[in-house]
Amino acid sequence: MAPVWTDVRAVLPSTVCEFPLHFSEKIELSVLKVLELARDELYSEADCPAAAERAQVIIDYSWEKLNTGTWRDVDKEWRRVYSFGCLFKVLSLCHGNPSQYDIQEAIKTCDMAFLKQKVKLDCVSEPVINPAQAVPRIHCPSLERFRSDFLDPQKPVIIEGITDHWPAFAEHPWSIDYLRTIAGCRTVPIEVGSKYTDEEWSQKLITVNDFIDRYIIGTAEDGVGYLAQHQLFDQVPELKEDIRIPDYCCLGEGDEDDITINAWFGPGGTVSPLHQDPQQNFLAQVVGRKYIRLYSPDETKYLYPHQSQLLHNTSQVEVENADLVKFPDFSKASYQECVLQPRDVLFIPQQHWHYVRSLELSFSVSFWWS
């Protein structure tokens, strides 16, 4: 295993003085003491066997703080402490002559730090398409035409021809093998269970390799697994280089930095129940096909949204298996549908209800913008 310490050390500030540990007084002095000891050891260059242990102490203590109270109540400072703990653990793992296992642990630790920063919102989307009411398709519309014909009137459309230049289709065509190479050892959150409204729905953290082995290639023993609504491109910058933000996003009011890019990667049969999102969405299909159904917000009265605060943006109706006894008005709702193909980009207007089912192995990228 090639020593990575020189590369890692080069990324850190050169001296202790340039590595201040400033925290609000919410952080107890005892924890601060451990942080300072860990930092000082790092810069002393001496090989310190207790460094990894010290880092683990910081991680474990701040983990307990992060899990006390709701995520809203937890002081941001404890998340910073947790990140420093992870940093020190990674550094101690990379020191000297790390084994393959050490390196994997180091990467997993980085991912844990990354994941703790994220706050999961609750919405999942799945459009379904109906041939008789097909979503219109248009090839490379000008900005003006897109704005006047679709954005302003808030009408869905499939845009063709705007992703051909993506490296994901050209220089690095995305495939299972490519994803393993770029991100195989990275830890990601996976949704397990047929849909998020089900009782057995849950989330777990596994590596991309494990996800591919167990839920993409593997038999359905483990059930349906979906890498859904995850900001994979922030976690794995190399993948971000393979995609481009659609030009039409500039028609919005927000900054480019405020655009949320999510990855949606899973086997055939993943379902996102009918729901609505608060922002405009470009759903770009990279691998595989998806069946998508769209209902305008005007149809909401026929769609039986859940009453609860948590799920009020989600319909109670199973779109492709609707219980018309329980939800009789659902048959009155008019909709559009499509099968989204690789290279297609579907424009889903803000608050438009959508239902999505993957027809085969699928990888989509969504851009939420305002």
- Contact residues for other proteins, defined by CB under 8 A: 28-30, 33-34, 49-50, 53-54, 56-57, 60-61, 64, 67-70
Tokens encoding 262: 């999510």
Q: Which is nearer to other proteins, 58 or 158 (CB)?
A: 58
Q: Which is nearer to other proteins, 2 or 29 (CB)?
A: 29
Residue 349 gets the label, from left (phi > 0), alpha (psi -120 to 50) or beta, of: beta
Q: Which is nearer to other proteins, 54 or 293 (CB)?
A: 54
- Residue 331 burial by CB count (10 A; 0-12/13-18/19+): exposed, middle or buried? exposed
Q: What are the phi and psi torsion angles at 256 (to 5°)?
A: -60, -35
Q: Which is nearer to other proteins, 64 or 360 (CB)?
A: 64
Q: How far is the CB of 205 from other proteins (least distance, A)?
A: 10
- d(CA 354, CA 370) in angstroms, rounded, equals 18
Q: At what angle do helices 29-44 and 50-66 cross, to 10 degrees?
A: 150
Q: Which H or E run contains 114?
A: helix 100-117
- d(CA 317, CA 327) in angstroms, rounded, equals 7
The residues, any chain, with a CB within 8 Å of residue 8's CB and separated by 6 or more, are: 90, 91, 94
Q: How far is the CB of 94 from other proteins (least distance, A)?
A: 21
Beta strands in the chain (DSSP E): 137-139, 157-160, 187-192, 202-207, 225-230, 260-266, 271-275, 280-287, 290-295, 336-340, 345-348, 353-358, 362-369
Q: Which is nearer to other proteins, 19 or 71 (CB)?
A: 71
Q: Which is nearer to other proteins, 34 or 91 (CB)?
A: 34
Q: How far is the CB of 365 from other proteins (least distance, A)?
A: 30
Q: Which is nearer to other proteins, 56 or 209 (CB)?
A: 56
Polymer length of the chain: 370
Q: How far is the CB of 30 from other proteins (least distance, A)?
A: 4
Q: How far is the CB of 29 from other proteins (least distance, A)?
A: 5
Q: How far is the CB of 110 from other proteins (least distance, A)?
A: 17
Measure CA 5 to chain center.
Answer: 30
Q: How far is the CB of 306 from other proteins (least distance, A)?
A: 19
Q: How far is the CB of 226 from other proteins (least distance, A)?
A: 21
Structural contact between residues 275 and 352, judged by C-beta atoms closer than 8 angstroms: no
Q: Which is nearer to other proteins, 78 or 330 (CB)?
A: 78
Taking the CA of residue 50 as centre, how many other CA atoms within 13 Å lie in the half-sphere pointing to its CB?
Answer: 9
Q: Which is nearer to other proteins, 61 or 211 (CB)?
A: 61
Rg of the chain taking only CA atoms, in angstroms? 23
Q: How far is the CB of 68 from other proteins (least distance, A)?
A: 5
Question: Edge to edge, what strands does the sheet with 336-340 contain?
Answer: 271-275, 353-358, 290-295, 336-340
